[in-house]
Amino acid sequence: MAIPLLKVTANEAVVESIKKRIREGEFGPGDRLPSEQKLLQDYDVSRLTLREALARLAAVGIIEVRHGKGAFVKGSISIPALDNVLTPLFPQNDINRMNDLVEARNLIESEIAAKAAMNRTARQIEHLENLLVITPNMISNANRFAEQDHMFHLALAEVAGNQFFLAMYQALYSQIRAFLVQYALSLDNRKEAMERHRPILGAIIDRDVEAARNLAREHAGICASYINNMFKSKGEEQ
């Protein structure tokens, strides 16, 4: 049986072409795209089709349209745009992809923790402590546990004060949350698992950069071991 293929519309084709031209460096961050008239000549499409394509690129954060000035490639990091790039890498039930995600988390989160130890304020510490308050709903619900766990690490990225770290972590939201849900489902004691964040927070409070870095890396490794054991158990059942 033939697999049905989606037909690509004219505005989708224009979107993909402009994205390709940006990727290949024809237009860089902050650059103005060619005029509407020039783009109409380049693509031989209607004005409505072109405007729909530009609106789609603006909606995902790749360009911004400035009234009376034209369309410009965004100069800052776009979370939706990054997320579009990462979607094909969604780990699902692929142990190799999951391990790749774990490795990426190890690198990002260890440096986030180290930066947070350098930059944290008293108010930020209070917020982080509140995120580690354990409730019955969080313990009984895997999705709630995953959300709370993710919120703590996202808050660390905000405390770190590096916009690239924050953008990368936000862009990995779907992948990390899927990982954390599976992690929660594999746990016998979710309260104990949430408490494992406290040594990291303690190092951040003490401004101990190396301890924060090492504890965050160790924490990510513990999470990975649970997931690997779960995948192993599934393989033995099949």
**Tokens 């020039």 found at:** 38
Q: 26, 50, 76: which is the final residue of a domain?
A: 76
Q: Which pLDDT value is given to residue 205? A: 97
Angle of helix 163-171 relative to helix 142-160, nearest 10 degrees, comes to 160
Regarding whether 180 and 86 lie in a shared domain, the answer is: yes
- Contacts of 35 by beta carbon, 8 Å cutoff, 6+ apart: 70
Q: What's the burial of 39, exposed, middle or buried (CB within 10 Å: 0-12/13-18/19+)? A: buried
What residue spans of 25-172 are helical by DSSP H? 36-43, 47-59, 79-86, 95-119, 122-131, 136-140, 142-160, 163-171
pLDDT class for 7, splitting at 50, 70, 90? low
CATH code at position 45:
1.10.10.10
CA angle 224, 158, 161 (to 5 degrees): 115
From residue 66, how far is each of 9, 56, 72, 74 by CA, in Å? 25, 15, 8, 11
Regarding whether 208 and 149 lie in a shared domain, the answer is: yes
Q: 60, 76, 92: which is the final residue of a domain?
A: 76
CB environment 184-220: b (16+ within 10 A), e (fewer): bebbeebeebbeebebbbebbeeeebebbbbbbbebb
pLDDT tens across 33-71, in order? 999 999 999 999 998 889 888 888 887 778 888 888 889
Q: Is the pTM value of this prediction over 0.85?
A: no
Q: Both ends of the chain: CA-CA distance in Å?
A: 28
Is residue 192 included in any domain, yes or no?
yes
Position 169 pLDDT exceeds 90: no
Q: 76, 93, 113: which is the final residue of a domain?
A: 76
Hey, what amino acid is at 88? P
Domain limits for position 15: 10-76
From residue 230, how far is each of 90, 126, 173, 200, 235 by CA, in Å? 18, 35, 21, 25, 9
CATH code at position 130:
1.20.120.530
- Contacts of 93 by beta carbon, 8 Å cutoff, 6+ apart: 231, 234
Query: Which residues, in sequence order, are bridge partners of residue 71?
Result: 65
Regarding whether 85 and 72 lie in a shared domain, the answer is: no
Distance of CA 153 to the CA centre of its chain: 12
Residue 117 tokens, joined: 């130890």
Three-state DSSP class for 1?
Answer: coil
Q: Which pLDDT value is given to residue 20? A: 80
Regarding whether 222 and 110 lie in a shared domain, the answer is: yes
Residues in the chain: 238
The share of the chain scoring above pLDDT 70, in percent, equals 81
Q: In total, how many domains does the chain have?
A: 2
Query: Which residues, in sequence order, are bridge partners of residue 72?
Result: 32, 64
Regarding whether 62 and 95 lie in a shared domain, the answer is: no
Residue 125 tokens, joined: 């510490």
Is residue 68 included in any domain, yes or no?
yes
pLDDT tens across 67-124, in order? 888 899 887 655 555 555 555 555 555 667 677 777 877 888 899 999 999 999 999 9
From residue 12, how far is each of 23, 53, 95, 139, 187 by CA, in Å? 16, 7, 33, 44, 44
